[in-house]
Amino acid sequence: MIEINLLPKDYQKKSFDFSFGKAGFYAVGAAGGILLTLLIITVFQKHRLSSLDDKIEQARQKEAILQRDIKLVDALNDVKAKITHRMKAVERLDSHRSAYVRILENMAGNVPEFVWLSRFEEKRPDATPTKGGKAPSKQVVDKDKVEPAKPVNPSVKEGEVEGYAFTLNALASFMIKMMRSDYFNEVELVTTNEVKIDENKAYNFVLSFNVHYLSDEQLRGLIASQEEKTPTQGSKTSHKSLN
């Protein structure tokens, strides 16, 4: 059967005709470009993330190595501090090596009967405490009234000795001998307590004094001055001081 459509072309039923045109092609091209750009960005970000993961792992490895190095440096610093402390102690002992021997010999010679010592200590000067832990406030000082600073004698230091005595007369004799010594002055009795030792009464005492670390030159000068003052007894005094 043959059908003939006699309607005008404008009224005839049109078949489906899909046509993009220029605008459609441009839209498809733009969408493709956007998709391609997003794909490239995604691949690039994944590459960066993997690179960052590698760098993080390397940083962690370096951190572990640095932690070991830090522990080693801390241990070396501790060893250095201990060595420095010991070297300072050796230097202090060496600076007054001969004086220490003379001081201890002189103190041992001053100990009378019924007295014995248990402790000899050299005190270190402490910093002046402030109230509330605050630094002292600044004060305006008149330059015309300022007195010149007194020279500090590093060879004179404070000391303390502790011991026991069976009688107070023996303790008093020990203090008098210390006062007459060339190495000690300002001898004071800090404390004295009565104690029992093997059911015997004794006195535990603590004395404070100033110790003079006389060098060899100072000792010779002191002996020479004593010989000038007492020529007849100069030789005896020098022998006693040296011994």
At 225 the pLDDT is 76
At 242 the pLDDT is 40
Mean pLDDT in residue range 4-24? 61
At 239 the pLDDT is 43
CB atoms within 10 A of CB 107: 21
- Examine the pLDDT at 171 and tell me if it is beyond 90: yes
At 77 the pLDDT is 92
Mean pLDDT in residue range 187-205? 90
CA–CA distances in Å: residue 230 to residues 66, 99, 225, 242: 73, 25, 9, 17
Q: Please name which of 213, 220, 108, 118 lies closest in space to residue 158, comparing C-alpha atoms.
A: 213
At 2 the pLDDT is 67
pLDDT digits (tens, 9 = 90+) for 123-163: 765 544 444 444 444 444 444 444 444 444 457 788 899 99
Could you list the beta-strand ranges (E) of 86-183: 115-122, 156-165
CA–CA distances in Å: residue 15 to residues 12, 29, 37: 10, 27, 38
Q: To 5 degrees, how large is the angle CA 55–CA 59–CA 64?
A: 150
pLDDT digits (tens, 9 = 90+) for 202-237: 999 999 999 887 666 666 776 677 677 665 444 444
Of 213 and 198, more confident: 198
At 30 the pLDDT is 82
- In this prediction, residue 104 has a pLDDT band, given cuts at 50, 70 and 90, of confident
Side by side, the strands of the sheet bearing 184-197 are 115-122, 156-165, 200-212, 184-197
Q: To 5 degrees, how large is the angle CA 16–CA 17–CA 23?
A: 140
Helix axis angle, 168-180 to 97-110, nearest 10°: 140
Residues whose CB falls within 8 Å of the CB of residue 185, separated by 6 or more in sequence, listed in order = 179, 209, 210, 212
pLDDT digits (tens, 9 = 90+) for 78-92: 999 999 988 887 776
- In this prediction, residue 191 has a pLDDT band, given cuts at 50, 70 and 90, of very high
Of 62 and 231, more confident: 62
Average pLDDT over the chain, rounded to whole? Answer: 75
Residue 208 DSSP SS3: strand
